[in-house]
Amino acid sequence: MGTDNESAPITSGTGSTRRGLIGGVVLGSAALGAGAAGGLVTRAASSTSFKRKRLTIEVACLGELWREATKSNPANDGDFRTSFGVEGWIYPQGTILGDGFIPTEQGSIGRWFCRGFIIIDSVRSEPHATSHQDLYFGSIRPDRLFPASMLSTSGLEGTTDRTQTSVRAVIGGTGEFLGATGQVGQTVIATNTSLFADGTDDPAPCFRLDIDVRVLE
């Protein structure tokens, strides 16, 4: 009977079974939802406001806090590759006036943490390392172990040539540096009176960091 044929389920031969129809509705809804979410993300991104922030600070590396792992290739005297960690004090621009600077907490505005991997070998004596640095602004004390404002950078560093500047990527921040993106120029400006705890007794370096970032308003 004609009515039976009209009420018969849609066959797979049409490419549109009931299961396929339901699946199409679900997929369509998912695509619509994804589109709506994408629109929300786009609108949120377009409404975000950034401001440019520039400042220059100085850092005195504390050689006595230098720690490094066993050399990756101890059989080769020309291969110095190994992981390391070290700390230092952060000062306002103009604090470190030349070699022989005495690093103390007095006058500091924060703490510098650096960790990474030495990349020196007999073929490439410089740059010395690839590293991650965290700059914490404010003192670390028992009642406030984690200062609110911090800036993180990543890149190559390490040279005795004071005319060279390492350009490092800003990879994030907190507090007044929330959402930070940009770059930092790092230049060796002096040595200080702390000596490296690696058996060399070499004086630790001091750096100038020229920070150019965009942060959330």
Residue range 68-116, pLDDT digits in tens: 999 888 899 899 999 999 999 999 999 999 999 999 999 999 999 999 9
**Confidence (pLDDT) at 35:** 53
- The answer to whether 116 and 134 have CB atoms below 8 angstroms apart is no
**Confidence (pLDDT) at 22:** 36
**Confidence (pLDDT) at 180:** 98
**Confidence (pLDDT) at 71:** 87
pLDDT band at 48 (very low <50, low <70, confident <90, very high): confident
| Per-domain boundaries in the chain | 2-47, 50-216
86 Cβ partners below 8 Å, 6+ apart? 61, 62, 63, 65, 66, 67, 113, 114, 115
**Confidence (pLDDT) at 47:** 66
The token pair that represents 89 in the structure block: 């004090």
What is the overall mean pLDDT for the chain?
85
Instruction: Write phi, then psi, for 48 (nearest 5 degrees).
Output: -75, 135
**Confidence (pLDDT) at 13:** 42
Domain 50-216 CATH (choose: 1.10.510.10, 3.40.630.10, 2.40.480.10, 1.20.140.10): 2.40.480.10
**Confidence (pLDDT) at 15:** 45
Is residue 46's pLDDT more than 50?
A: yes
Is residue 202's pLDDT more than 90?
A: yes
For 164-169, what is the mean pLDDT?
Answer: 98
**Confidence (pLDDT) at 23:** 43
pLDDT band at 19 (very low <50, low <70, confident <90, very high): very low
Report the share of the chain in percent with pLDDT over 90.
Answer: 72
Q: What is this structure's pTM? A: 0.77
Is residue 1's pLDDT more than 70?
A: no
Residue 211 burial (CB count, 10 A): 21
**Confidence (pLDDT) at 51:** 97
For residue 133, the cross-strand partners are: 114, 153
Q: Whose structure tokens read 């440019």?
A: 52
CA distance 133 to 206: 14
- The answer to whether 194 and 86 have CB atoms below 8 angstroms apart is no
For 187-209, what is the mean pLDDT?
Answer: 94
